[in-house]
Structure 1
Amino acid sequence: MSMNEFRRLAAKIDQHMQQLAAQGVSEAHAIVNRMMGYVPDLHKIWVGTSDQQLMALSREYPGFYRYAHIMEEASEAERNKTSRPYDGPAEFSEEHKQRTAQLLLTAATLERGYQAFRGSGNLQVFQQQVNELGRLHRQWLADLDSFKDSLRAQGVEPRALEYVNEAFRHLAERIKQLAG
């Protein structure tokens, strides 16, 4: 990716952080929940830029810097959690790993799409696109149910199903809230 592409991604993150600030959203936990759709973009920037480029983006886009800092702290807190007996990676087949990745990608697309349209302030102008997001949302929910059924049919461990249910429950709730 080029630096211009990294700038474009950082600018989108910065813009959404400004919108959240204008709405009075300032707590790290709330920001993490409202900005999950931007994790793939943050990751692209994080792994694709040099330290100097990352510092330049951070100076140029203070909202991007704040989001990156919050996500870094959240990641560090997660790594430092005391492990419990049920912690550990759930084992999935390659097919299920790919389906999980696709479900997560679609969830990020839905979150970002709804956030963008809500941020515009006038949903009527984008009614056709909002309707298309609604169709994609319904399809995503059906695909998620199908994925869970497939896991059960394949006899995946109960703790793996718990992980899937918990992770996707949070995503589904956020998307439903944005869609509402």
Structure 2
Amino acid sequence: MKEQFAKPAVAAIIERTIENETYILMQERQKENDLNTNGLIEIAAGKIREYESVFDALKREVYEETGLTVTKILGQEQTEYAVNPIASIMGFTPFYITQNLDGIYSLIVMTFICKGEGELVKNTNETINIHWVNLEEASLLLERSPEKIFPMHLLSLKKYIQYKIKS
């Protein structure tokens, strides 16, 4: 039997402040080959390509799914690097990590808090209804309808709302 491995992925909680109120970017999944999760609310995310840094993957996925250019990734400035004769290594701290233990995809998702600039696209080949949501709306959605959130983002979004309430 062939061994199967969880795939690493990144996700972005993209923040924007409008009139002293924090908003985050949310979107609706709409993938051609993924009918079981279409219609669920998610944040920009995707798998990391071989030897692609998590930060490059995050920037690529955000741009592909939203049209925004990532201008800041919280914590990126603390990244550490090491090089030896057989590898180049990067150490970093994401905001939150989730792992899918069964069901849909076998993923480990590293979520980061980001800022982005640019014009939002209307939709992509993977997402529709890309829009800004204030923290109260996001909190109510998580509280009243957690089944409407893509499972791999549910705990990260809950953690983010708690983090913002405390700060």
Greater share of strand residues, 1 or 2?
A: 2
Greater share of helix residues, 1 or 2?
A: 1
TM value normalised by structure 1 = 0.24
Task: Specify which structure has the bigger relative contact order, considering alpha-carbon pairs within 8 angstroms and separated by 6 or more residues.
Answer: 2
Question: Which of the pair has more CA radius of gyration?
Answer: 1
